[in-house]
Structure 1
């Protein structure tokens, strides 16, 4: 950092955008998510990622059970594989979008083959996002972030969490200081 940048930051000008980490918004804790994939590994890994983020995860192995679960459980978000046994993901997407009970649910399509044709159909039939396999936590978080920003999912209450965290930090900071003072007084009394 050169001298001018140092003084700008010192005087309160914000750091350049490129150096700031992007804040990822999460959906509300407990958001019901349906993961539809015929691969037990993808269901397990994606389910674990979403569960660790605080979401309630349900799973389906094929298109028929996905449609049934969407009707019965009314998830707030669906991760839907394109290649499924029986009814494929495109047909499931189309069926869910044409049904008044499920047309409002955000749907993120997932596939190991990111061809232009698939993306065209995903957009044409109304998917909210597309994630290519293999994917990591960052891609899943980014997809949820986009849905929260678009108003398709309710945001997690970040402000309340920040206030609670700040209060916890103050308590943790004060306790060791007073404990240290008590121990210090006791030790000096023993030495005398």
Structure 2
């Protein structure tokens, strides 16, 4: 119940109970749509140098039944990947030591890790970071700050029929030729 509905109830004017869910062009409002989560116990690695981001992601993911591992830098994250074999990785771009792009390249070059979906994160809204991340193998991009909805929306887009995170089929960017200089 939203704040306006609560006020209407207090004033004795609760006419919203009979109203259908809000829609935009026939699409049910996101809060009315059931969320699809990965299966219980899905292993997620979070690599971010911000303890606040680590705690927030851990809280959201564990509340939905995910198992989380955390690293404050890419080198520790790569070691954790080899030890625990996560099924999904949230990877910050700006990290101390090895940055997120270098870590992503290392992941994609390692035969044991290359198939793990990676969602890159950054507080910088530059489209170039997003484009570059996808060009070297990121599966999605999430800008910080993010909401709980944003986290689960990104995960849901990567789930297969068995609710396991999978890398989507790699398709070239529609304007990739322009950036390769092959236009």
Normalized against structure 2, the TM-score is what?
A: 0.72
Q: List aligned pairs for 1:25-104, cutoff 5 A.
A: 25-104=36-115
- State the match for 1:18 in structure 2: 27
Q: Choose from 106, 126, 130 the match for 2:141.
A: 130
- Please state how far the C-alpha of 1:124 moved relative to its aligned partner: 0.5
> Structure 2: where are the runs of 5+ without partners?
1-24, 165-183
Deviation, structure 1 residue 71: 1.1
Q: 1:41 to 1:19 in 2, by over 3 A?
A: closer
Q: Distance in 2 between matches of 1:97 and 1:67?
A: 12
Distance 2:48 2:162 in 1: 25
Secondary structure at 1:147's aligned position in 2?
Answer: coil
Distance (Å, rounded) in 1 between the aligned partners of 2:102 and 2:77? 11
Choose between structure 1 and 2 for higher RCO, CA contacts under 8 A separated by at least 6 residues: 1
Query: Cα RMSD over matched residues?
Result: 1.8
Mind listing any 5+ residue stretches in structure 1 that lack a counterpart?
1-15, 157-192
Indicate yes or no: 2:99 matched with 1:107. no
Aligned length: 139
Per-residue CA deviations over 1:2-31 (Å, capped at 9, x if unaligned) read xxxxxxxxxxxxxx7334643331101100
